[in-house]
Chain A
Amino acid sequence: MRTSTIVLASFVVILGLFLFATQVPINLTPDKVAAAVSEAISASEVPVDEEIVEQAVINSLTILEKGQRTRLTYLFAAYIVIWLVFMLYVLRLEQQQQQLDQRLAQLELISNSEE
């Protein structure tokens, strides 16, 4: 198998691993938020405006998700850069190896013709 194929395959696997491992750990849906808000309101001893609380929770979640997206983008960018450098280097090595093989084949051809 060619080195470039191995490198690309490893890149895809690592990308997959990265995407799998950096998923948002708590999957919060609007239904879950609404259920939690109504549960908290019903447990509250003082009167609470349901709409205001729900809006505050949604706003907080949006801010947290935005922050996490930003952080994951930086993390993703750093690991992509690391793998890109390795990939380019390995591809360059493969190219050099191919050139060397060609030169050796030419040399063999010349020595055979001289014999």
Chain B
Amino acid sequence: MGNLKTKIIGVITAALIFISLYLVFGYARVEGTMLEVQKIFYYHVSAALTVFVAFGVNCVFSIKYLIQRKPNDDLLAAAAAELGIIFCTIALLSGPIWARYAWNTWWNWEARLTSTLVLWLMYVGYFILRSALTDDKRRIYSAVIGIIAYLDVPIVYYAVDIWQGGLHPDRGTKWSLETTMRHTWMVALLALISLFVCLLIVRYKMKKAEMRYEIIQQKYL
């Protein structure tokens, strides 16, 4: 039953991705200033928002682990953090390509870019810490790091308001998009969140299997 559910989510995710790609390239109106390059927005911004969801899941299950001390919560938190890094990498790599055309620079140390890079580095640190520790120590320390690292998420989100004068547009820009653009962005966001859920289930199951293997190995070998 569990596998069937995963497969259903996988099929829905694949369908959403194909629909969103059709909408991006075939339906959404070409924006007047940046023309075709603006189409990077749909996956770049959606990936960035999925990062918040992923690290949010990590934070919730890190707190849950610290309260209940169930190893499965730690595994789910780690799986979410791993996916958060993947989505953050996508946002950090697709952003400069867009920036090169729009701002004539690959990178700028403005507030949102810098805080996003800091966020990425913190979760990379989370995994370095996990690989350096074992068992309970690993779970407790990484849960604490996960919670602390999540504090950077609101900083990233509100960076354009806190440090004004950056290159990123206001937070509300995406909501004032033209109708076809807004619909396309919403479907792209839904597709990436669905992809995150799908990969999270797969990664969590793998981590669980790895943990079981290690337990059996320690007990019998």
Contact = CB atoms under 8 A, between A and B. Distances in A.
A72 B206 contact: no
B221 interface: yes
Contacts of B202: 93
A81 B97 contact: yes
Given A78-B44, A81-B94, A107-B213, A93 B25 contact: no
Contact of A82 (B25, B94, B217, B221): B94
A75 B43 contact: no
A70 B37 CA distance: 9
A110 interface: yes
7 contacts: A17-B18, A21-B24, A21-B25, A70-B101, A71-B101, A96-B206, A104-B209
Given A77-B97, A78-B44, A100 B209 contact: yes
What does DSSP make chain B's interface, helix, strand, loop or mixed? Answer: helix
Contacts of B199: 89, 93
A18 B35 contact: no
Contact of A100 (B24, B89, B213): B213
Interface residues of B, number: 38
Given A78-B44, A78-B98, A82-B47, A104 B36 contact: no
Given A74-B98, A79-B43, A85 B90 contact: yes
Interface of B: 14, 17-18, 21-22, 24-26, 34-37, 39-40, 43-44, 47, 86, 89-90, 93-94, 97-98, 100-101, 195, 199, 202-203, 206, 209-210, 213, 216-217, 220-221
Q: Pick the most buried of B17, B37, B213: most chain A CB atoms within 10 A of its CB.
A: B37
Contacts of A74: 37, 40, 97-98, 100-101
A77 B210 CA distance: 36
Contacts of B35: 67-68, 71
Interface residues of A, number: 32
Interface of A: 10, 13-14, 17-18, 20-22, 67-68, 70-72, 74-75, 77-79, 81-82, 85-86, 89, 93, 96-97, 100, 103-104, 107, 110-111
A48 B37 CA distance: 37
Nearest to B203: A93
B21 A17 contact: yes
